[in-house]
Structure 1
Amino acid sequence: MLRLFYPYWIVLLLFSCDSGNKGEGGNKEIEGSNTAVYFEKLDSIKIDYLGNPSVHDIDPKSGTILFMDHREFSRDIMVANFEGHIVTSFSKSGDRPDSYGALMSTLRILDDKTFLAYGYNGFMTYDFTGELQSQVKLRDFRVPNFTRKAMGFGMEKWKSKYLYVDQGSRDIDYSSLEAYNEMRLLNWLDPETGEKEPLIQFPESSIFRSGKYFFRDSWAPSFALADDCIYVVFGAEPAIYVYSLNKPYSLLSSIPVDLKDYRYFSGSNDNSIDGTLRFTSGNILNIKKIGEYFVIAYFPGYSDADKEAENENKTQQENLLFRERMLKKYAKRIAVLDTLGNTIGDFVPEGLVPQSMLLRNNELWMQEKPDEEVERDYFRLFRVGLKVENAAR
């Protein structure tokens, strides 16, 4: 593992203030204050691999990284160490006795020898050579409506269980207003029994209880476990809801969030909703609680003019060029808030994927943003530190 010691002038170069420059820079000094907020790159791991890997989990204690390349005909699991070497690789998908069937979440490292796979065939525990150690079948299995296997979107452990997003139910008519009253947004998963405990509904104050219609999964939650609380953001809604971590998981408070140039879909009076909204609406992608701060990754959403341009008739090449421009214009951002919801920093992290934030052993890890114009035979992970400093005037 390469330890990076950044001299002060390099930190200033990498994380220069982006005030007045949308989508650029890595540091935000709030107007009228002398607080500088940025991510400092502390360590890096470079793994030689040609492809488009999805990092599933990182374990600083054992120095282990799990990643996969979800190709059409290949589902290899790769185990790497913190020196960047791939130690073993194997496949557990498909038709085989010890297969997980299909994954419903990212893989989760258990200790220095084993990891957990949550799949159609249950909770499967494997060692780092791919040998099956145990299997617990699911008590109430339903094919999920969606799944996302990417760094920062997996299960989070509390005691012997894991908290995870609800992946949809075929028993709910999501086109009806009643759906917003029926949904449970999170589940406790018990890998020892295979049982699932649904919890948390939209509170009365949520925009999803406003009597309006929303596009499917615009409410997909992001959550963090800290301080004996569950901190939840419901997709596009700019608010942090704070729930007790103990039954009956009572709503303790809500914290409004004011994000930079945030344009989100706040509902429709009828059920005819523009299908492009899932690409153009603002959305909160990830939330972490780091010390006394909330760190939120979000997509700001298109302006009205660019929403109209999105729906214009264009050739395939024009569409590709338009999307490339929009990706640069509306880069995903990081907002840092205090416990009252006051924004103390807002920036595009230099060279990092904002939504990939993963907290392990009180360390924050993020994936390096790939260069779309250059194919590389490696990828990198960074351990970063959140820096909140009083800047000299």
Structure 2
Amino acid sequence: MKHLFQIFGLLVILFSCNSKSENPNLIADYHFEIKDSIQVDYLGNLSVFDFEPESGFYLGRNNSTEEHLLFDDQGKIHNRFIIQKDGPDAVSWVQGLGFLDGKITVMDSNKGILQFSNEGEIANRIELPEDYFFINGLNFPAARFGNELMYIRPERDGMDWSNLGELFKRVYQNPILEVYNPETGIIRNTMNFPPRTTYTDGNYYHWMFPSLIQVSDSEWLLYLMAERKYYVYKKVGDQLIYEKTVDLKINDAVNIQGGPIENLEVMYEGNRFNIFGKIEQIYSREQDILVVYTKGVDEEIVKQYDPENIVEWMTFINSIPRYMAVLDKNHQMLQKDIPVPLGIDFTSVCNSKGEIIVLKNQEYFGMEEDFTTFYKMNQVK
């Protein structure tokens, strides 16, 4: 295992040394380093969703069994439990998972915000005003916004499933976030849908999977599934106000193909082989902002693979290159198109040392181990 780790680290450095940009305006040369690894004595489909700096615990979940784990940097499992689907503490559908105020927190599809003890018992319930519906999963459960809580806005005022075109027209125009005051029970919206997005051309592009990244108490970033740009919002009073768009300007990327919003099936059928370039993760660190993205794959290449052949298709998917961009805290590009080694799956977690937590893809390496390995990746000049 030690030799494999050393070889993997060497590959990372070799990849980065070959990634010097020809753009004379870029002012730095970055490379990757694998600083360490976390070996968790756990057999299963384990991923990591959040990091709690005071305890030093990572929050992991088996996406197949919904078993949840708390483990540390040494890989020691401190707590494990399965969220109940029956009984008085049953959870309907976990929409978002993470830490809030140091507690394991989920956004439930019906029961609002639920907080758990480390032993898996519900310790706190924050009920939201009723008649809400989340179209899809969230990248976080909820966040503090002064004395209020904010989260990805659910749909309200009824859902007309007979006219999905009109539903998504509304989704592509409405604010991103809902804010709830637990003391007054009042809800309101903030973070207006950003201007000049892919989603504003009148076509259908799936659910946007909006992802929110906090940079500071006054600044938040938003990115959407179909794009290779992100949006900067600043806190002004009790609102998050759009400030600017940061476009990565990846010129050789494949764009998403939309379809007529009046006939969603046309888009699904016509774009089976549209693997488009997109942002996959953004990390806000003390000194910089890191963006992980793909450029997509030309449709003629994609058509050479059979999605019905799971082994063949996943081998192809795992071979798609990923890249890193580095920006300063003023959102000025320092370097982009830095290749990322294959065989790792990026999580959304960056710990308090600025180390990105990535999962070793055992399927890619063609091995089955009785433990799960996470690498700590850092990027330095």
For residue 70 of structure 2, the aligned residue among 69, 73, 79 is 79
Q: Post-superposition shift, 1:160?
A: 5.1
Using a 3 Å threshold, how does the CA distance of structure 1 residues 163 and 336 change in structure 2: closer, same or farther?
A: farther
Corresponding residue for residue 273 of structure 1: 267
2:298 aligned residue (288, 295, 303): 303
Task: Give 1:347's aligned residue.
Answer: 338
- Determine if the alignment matches structure 1 residue 136 to structure 2 residue 126: yes
Alignment CA distance shift 1:144-1:137 (3 Å): same
For residues 278 and 10 of structure 1, what CA distance do their matches in structure 2 show?
Answer: 31
**Residue number among 96, 114, 124 corresponding to 2:114 in the alignment:** 124
Alignment of 1:100-249 (within 5 A): 100-108=91-99, 110-111=101-102, 114-119=103-108, 120-147=110-137, 155-159=142-146, 161=148, 163-166=150-153, 171=159, 173-176=163-166, 178-179=169-170, 182-188=173-179, 197-210=188-201, 212-217=202-207, 219-227=208-216, 228-246=218-236, 247-249=238-240
Structure with the higher strand share, 1 or 2: 2
Q: What is the match of residue 13 of structure 2? A: 15
1:333 equivalent among 308, 323, 330: 323
Q: Give 3-state SS (helix, strand or coil) of 1:242's partner.
A: strand
CA change 1:11–1:134 in 2 (3 A) is closer
Using a 3 Å threshold, how does the CA distance of structure 1 residues 204 and 115 change in structure 2: closer, same or farther?
A: closer
| C-alpha deviation, 1:63, in angstroms | 2.3
| SS, match of residue 301 in structure 2 | helix
Using the size of structure 1 for normalisation, the TM-score is 0.77
1:156, CA displacement in angstroms?
Answer: 4.8
Measured in 2, the distance between the counterparts of 1:101 and 1:374 equals: 35
Change (3 A) 1:215 1:159: same
Q: Name the amino acid aligned to 1:115.
A: I
Counterpart contact for 1:332–1:354, Cα < 8 Å: no
Contact 2:95 2:107 in 1 (8 A): yes
Q: 1:143 to 1:95 in 2, by over 3 A?
A: farther
AA partner of residue 291 (structure 2)? I
Alignment pair present for 1:49 and 2:39: no
Displacement of 1:174? 4.2
Distance 1:164 1:288, change over 3 A: farther
Given candidates 280, 284, 296, the residue that maps to 1:285 is: 280
Distance 1:315 1:206 in 2: 30
Secondary structure of residue in 2 paired with 1:321: helix
For the structure 1 residues 78 and 294, does the alpha-carbon distance in structure 2 shift closer, same or farther, using more than 3 Å as the test?
closer
Describe the shift of the 1:137–1:300 C-alpha distance in structure 2 as closer, same or farther (beyond 3 A).
Answer: same
The secondary structure found in structure 1 opposite 2:196 is coil
- For the pair 1:259 / 2:250, whether they are aligned, the reply is yes
Structure 1 residues 192 and 77, CA, compared in 2 at 3 Å: closer, same or farther? farther
* Residue 52 of structure 1, CA deviation: 0.5
Q: CA shift at 1:129, angstroms? A: 1.9
Residue 129 of structure 1 aligns to a residue in which SS?
A: coil
Q: Which amino acid in 2 is paired with 1:370?
A: N
State percent identity of aligned pairs: 18
* Unpaired stretches in structure 2, ≥5 consecutive residues: none
* Contact 2:345/2:359 (8 A) holds in 1: no
Task: Confirm or deny: 8 A CA contact 2:285 2:354 kept in the other structure.
Answer: no
Q: For structure 1, which segment, 331-340 or 220-229, has the greater mean C-alpha deviation from structure 2 after superposition?
A: 331-340
Note closer, same or farther for the CA distance 1:267–1:293 as it changes in structure 2 (3 Å cut): farther
Q: Separation in 1 of the partners of 2:341 and 2:87?
A: 43
- Cα distance between partner residues in 2 of 1:154 and 1:296: 22
Q: Distance in 2 between matches of 1:162 and 1:279?
A: 37
- SS in structure 2 at match of 1:265: coil
Asked if the contact 1:184–1:199 (Cα under 8 Å) also holds between the matched residues in 2, the reply is yes
Shift of 1:230: 1.8
Q: Distance in 2 between matches of 1:268 and 1:350?
A: 34
Structure 1 runs not aligned, ≥5 long:
1-5, 20-26
Instruction: Indicate which of 349, 360, 365 corresponds to 1:369.
Output: 360
TM-fit CA distance, 1:62: 0.8
- State the shift of 1:367 in Å: 2.4
- Residue 308 of structure 1, CA deviation: 4.7
Query: Given residue 127 of structure 2, which amino acid in structure 1 is its aligned partner?
Result: K
**Quick one: distance in 2 between partners of 1:10 and 1:308?**
31
How many Å apart are 1:175 and its aligned residue?
Answer: 1.4
The answer to whether the Cα contact below 8 Å between 2:318 and 2:342 also exists between their aligned partners in 1 is: no
Q: Does 1:61 align with 2:49?
A: no
Q: Does structure 2 retain, via aligned residues, the 8 Å contact 1:136–1:193?
A: no
Aligned amino acid, residue 256 of structure 2: F
Whole-angstrom distance in 2 between the partners of 1:153 and 1:55: 12
- Residues 47, 359 of structure 2: 8 Å contact kept: no
Contact 1:180 1:209 in 2 (8 A): no
**Separation (CA, whole Å) in 2 of partners of 1:10 and 1:263:** 29
Q: So what's the TM-score if we normalise by structure 2?
A: 0.79
- Whether the 8 Å CA contact 2:345–2:361 is kept in 1: the answer is no
Match of 2:250, SS state, is coil
Give 1:244's aligned amino acid. K
